[in-house]
Amino acid sequence: MSSPDAPAPRLRSLGKTAEREGKLFLRRTLIRLLPKPYAPKDRPTAQDPARILAVRHDARLGNLLLLTPALRLLKRAFPNARVDALISGRYGDALAFNQDVDRVLTPKALPAIFLKGGYDLAFDFSPQHAFSLSSAAWTALSRAKLHIGFDRGDAAAFLNLLAPVPQARAHETQNLCALVRVAAPWAPATLTEDLRPRWVFGPGEKEDGAARWRAMGLDSESLAFFLGGRAEKQLPVEWFLDLAAAAAKAGRKTVLLGGPAETKLLAAAKIPEGVLVAPAMELRPFAAFLAQARTVVTADTGPMHLAAALGRPSVEIFTHTEPWRFGYSWLPECRVLETPGRAPSIDEAWNVLRALF
């Protein structure tokens, strides 16, 4: 006999099927309507391109920060070119004041891009492990002479200069820089420090962050724990509270950070003495605030990449993703704590955190 709740799973299944079929229809339609990519006649030289478009259709802060070393390499490889970045509007502020980008564009600019064209090179910087229809379509709509991206999925229907998908283990920043070298094999070698994500503060931003930090009663030895995370990567709020209590016993103040969802959970929690809760902040004030922390503890999520960009010592907790691909153990101030499929124990986390004091 069916339960009263039986229709709900069926409806969800039907919804997923409709979404999948809709995406397939859209993909086939775009492939049919967009101009077929033509084989490039000539490869560019360092002096050739006047305008370059870097496409990353992604509403995730971490993935956008992972792109910044490739943007830096583009500027070095093509010093005379103007580089525009076409990204999701959600985190466009992440590239503000970045000297490697001449202009940040969002999907609102697509009609003008399609009508005007004028780009010499366009890079589809979506990750090599999964084809992104939106990024490939945006790249094709640029009407650039060369459309460059990784060879997977339907990429060949949109792009005319394809890079093989990397087979060896490599950090995501290395993979994206390798994509630049497909168009610019003369590009300079990227040293370890060159692969660090980049964040640039504007006038007064860091000072405002320091003032907010002090106003909360925090000092130069205080810690910052970011409670957020996507899906299974998020650790329980209670786990962070227990780790913060251990830090308080060692004489360290801790501030807990998160978005509206985490703030709501903390409102019902018992906060240990010596532990503070910061209000939710916009992206750039949040970065300026995080830059004051002695050490940052976070799961594999956007603020982990932000902490690396800011040069802050950090404990990076990996429970469900690959640290060799997304972590920063190769930066001297970062420590990776990998516990596949489970949250680390408080003792495990405390031992790694204490080593950074």
Structure-token pair, residue 186: 């003369």
- Domain assignment present for residue 23? The answer is no
Q: Are both 215 and 290 inside the same structural domain? A: yes
- Domain assignment present for residue 96? The answer is yes
Q: Are both 330 and 231 inside the same structural domain? A: yes
Q: Over range 50-61, report the average pLDDT.
A: 90
Which of 56-65, 258-267, 320-329 is predicted with the least confidence, judged by mean pLDDT?
Answer: 258-267
pLDDT tier, 22 (very low <50, low <70, confident <90, very high otherwise):
low
Q: Starting at the earlier edge strand, list the strands of the sheet with 146-150.
A: 103-105, 82-87, 51-56, 121-124, 146-150, 161-163
Q: Over range 130-147, report the average pLDDT.
A: 89
CA dihedral 89, 318, 278, 220 (to 10 degrees): -110
Q: Are both 119 and 155 inside the same structural domain? A: yes
Q: Over range 312-323, report the average pLDDT.
A: 97
> Above 90 in pLDDT, residue 276?
yes
Q: Are both 185 and 221 inside the same structural domain? A: no
> Above 50 in pLDDT, residue 290?
yes
- Domain assignment present for residue 257? The answer is yes
pLDDT tens sequence across 183-228 = 999 998 877 888 999 999 999 999 999 999 999 999 999 999 999 8
d(CA 268, CA 284): 28
Nearest to 146 by CA among 125, 123, 112: 123
Q: Are both 243 and 311 inside the same structural domain? A: yes
Query: Which of 161, 195, 229 represents a domain boundary (last residue)?
Result: 195
Residues 6+ apart with CB under 8 A from 218: 253, 255, 276, 292
8 A C-beta contact, residue 243 and residue 295: no
pLDDT tier, 288 (very low <50, low <70, confident <90, very high otherwise):
very high
Instruction: Give me the DSSP letters along 65-82.
Output: HHHHHHHHHHHHHSTT-E
Q: Starting at the earlier edge strand, list the strands of the sheet with 295-299.
A: 275-277, 254-257, 223-226, 295-299, 314-318, 334-338
Q: Are both 191 and 214 inside the same structural domain? A: no
The domain in which residue 253 lies consists of 205-354
Q: Over range 112-128, report the average pLDDT.
A: 87
> Above 90 in pLDDT, residue 32?
no
Angle at 153 between CA 148 and CA 321, to 5 degrees: 95
Q: What integer best gives the mean pLDDT of the chain?
A: 89
Query: Which of 195, 227, 244 represents a domain boundary (last residue)?
Result: 195
pLDDT higher for 199 or 57? 199
> Above 90 in pLDDT, residue 332?
yes
Beta-sheet strands, E only, within 218-344: 223-226, 254-257, 275-277, 295-299, 314-318, 334-338
Half-sphere exposure of 236 (CA within 13 A, CB side): 11
- Domain assignment present for residue 142? The answer is yes
In terms of C-beta density within 10 A (0-12 exposed, 13-18 middle, 19 or more buried), how is residue 222 classed? buried
Q: Over range 288-293, report the average pLDDT.
A: 98
Structure-token pair, residue 318: 């990996």
Q: Over range 73-89, report the average pLDDT.
A: 93
Query: Which of 139, 163, 195 represents a domain boundary (last residue)?
Result: 195
CATH of the domain at 287: 3.40.50.2000
- Domain assignment present for residue 330? The answer is yes
Q: Are both 99 and 232 inside the same structural domain? A: no
- Domain assignment present for residue 277? The answer is yes
- Domain assignment present for residue 34? The answer is no
- Residue 111 is predicted with a pLDDT of 85
d(CA 261, CA 270): 16
